[in-house]
Structure 1
Amino acid sequence: MLMLIRMTPLPLISLLMIYGVSSADWGVSYSHSHICALKDSSVIMSCTYTYPTGHQIKTVFWTKNTVKGVEPPDLSEDPEYSQRLQYLGDKQQNCTIRLSHVTQKDEHTYCFRFTTNKGGIWLGYPGVSLTVKDDPDLQVESPERVTEGDSVRLTCKSSCTLTDRATFIWYRNSQPLTERRDTNNQLLLQSVRREDAGRYSCALHGHTYISPDVHLNVMYAPKSISASISPSGEIVEGDSVTLICSSDSNPPAEINWFKGGTFVGSGRIYSISKISSDHSGEYKCKSRNQHGEKYSDTVTLNVMYPPRNVSVSINGSVEIVEGDSVTLICSSDSNPPALNFSWFKEDESSAVGSGQSFSALQSGRFYCEAHNQHGSQRSDIVTVTEDRENQTKKLI
């Protein structure tokens, strides 16, 4: 005679054995022992079951909150579930169900129960525990850093089970990416650019909850390199000057300065105090990080200074025939070049001539003075003598 087989919700499963049948032949397996779902969504509880060969399934149904010694109710006959519960399984192995429009009232532990034609009864304990939440509790998963040109995939994850119809909305810096609304939970950025860097978050269409921000850090080689000089106006010898290198890069770049092809300093700011004419020239900066390097265009440092090294020379032969004039030339080193020259005869307060050249018609001691807007300097004294015996004038 066959005996009744019944699974009861005890910590240790008890089974009244049928002669020649092992308890290992009976069982219910759930894909998930706990499911978290959003309010008003549909939940699928995937399930399979086994039983001994030779048995045929007589009845199948799902129940909830089983109590020892109490006949479990069939949820399909419960008015609160009958319109929302759909059995997707069969009477062979599949016992999956769909529960629609779930609310917090549906937070229970659900179990599958079946009977066979030979008196076997099995209850799949402990079953599936269902939690229902108002908000999706979203989190964005993203790589901490990417390099410009890479493809990046951001994933919006929820602690609750979402339906296949769930639609995600993505935000960058709190602004919606309207072109990125999709039915999957991933945001793909192909050939990422530095403009793609920022704070990303996601939301579920129809819900007000927005995930916490995740920062996407896009690394790239230096670009937009430029060099500038401060002050930008005229620079005079003795001034203090600052050269500034601007560079757009991530991570921040190492900056080196070059005058011509010679390294002269490092750092975004290169300062020169009490500048001299020797500092004049073309400067450029080089910006470098682990992703590449780039040079700026050159900037010209033009240092102004007053005349110096002023000297007098004679134009032509030193031997001059008596009666002729001697042409003296005034030379100087200055920036800008001296354009004003004055000639003086020793012991005379007034100038005896102007211009870079001066014709000395008589003997005497002369000097010149060169001028630009930054100052003036006089030359050493030169002596024009007349040799009456040889009838010549000479410059001493």
Structure 2
Amino acid sequence: MSPSAGGLVVFLLSVQVIQSQDGWRVNYLKTDVCALKGSTVYISCDITHPPGIDPSDIKDRFWFTKEKDGEPVDLGTDSEYSGRVTYVCYSDSCYLTITDVRESDSAEYKLTFMTNKPGEKYTGSPGVTLSVTDSGLQVQVRRSDSTWLELTCHSSCVLSDHPEYDWFKNEENIKTGSSLLVSSGSTDRYSCDLRGSWDNGSPAVYGPQRPSVSVSPSAVMLEGDSVTLTCSTDANPAANYTWYKEHEDSPRASGQNFTITDFTAEHSGNYYCEAQNEMGRSNSTLLRIPSSGKGGCTWSTTKDIVIFVLLLIIIIVLAVPYIKRRMFPERPEQRPENGTQIPLTNAGHQEE
């Protein structure tokens, strides 16, 4: 690759030039690189030589992060990078590729080289600082129009190349690209992953599932009581909640919990909550809040109880004789036809 080709790298943020006293210099095309754990990193530089020096005079070029006994250690021989490092060097440029980067790879990377001239050795310093993060990817949701949503993969780490992403719907790979269009209101789960990386899948985004609602306390409400309605659902991003009373267009409250501190008969009725996030919205079933009237123990309530008890006692007193007669009927007395009473004990022993 020629120097002009290297200058086409669009992620170039700054150029670090290392100038030696005799005209050698190293131009790092980017001095700060941020990468996601598990991704692939590319670091590159150009070498400028003094006039009259042929590039073929450069030899033994390699990248390093560590030194041993004052001498740089070739990254290709470091066991921590075994199988993950590749060099591609031309006459006046050099490229380093690190695959499956780890947090331990965060370091300063430098290029060093020697020339055909005995004892002539140069190191491009300061080098390129690599920062590896495991913060992972996030799916950002943007409304394209009333029907479609645009999903894009985002990371707080500015990647050093033009990454491609694999998109998943309900964990099934459906597309490769920088973004994804989905229909608004879908409850399917969408996630993205950096292509070629297995450790950077984003959390899935999806619209609210049907919310569940509950009321506390669960008993019939009395006037003056305090009652709390609670709504919950599974959604990512987290859902916002709005409370409605049936047949009313204006919301009664917002938030996951809706508390009525001084309950009256007017508060009774059917309520539902609406859960909404960037992906869509969903309504709960109706929650009925009944009312039994006034609460507390008043004089009117006490008087009614006393009257009820007295009536119950009177009914019992009147009913007892009737019940007794029904359960224990009296035996009737026997009388002769002429009206003379004959003792029962002598009825069967009269003289002829």
In our comparison, the structure showing a higher alpha carbon Rg is: 1
TM-score computed with the length of structure 2 as normaliser: 0.42
TM-score relative to the length of structure 1? 0.38
Where is the helix percentage greater, Structure 1 or Structure 2?
A: 2
Which structure has the highest strand share of the two?
Answer: 1
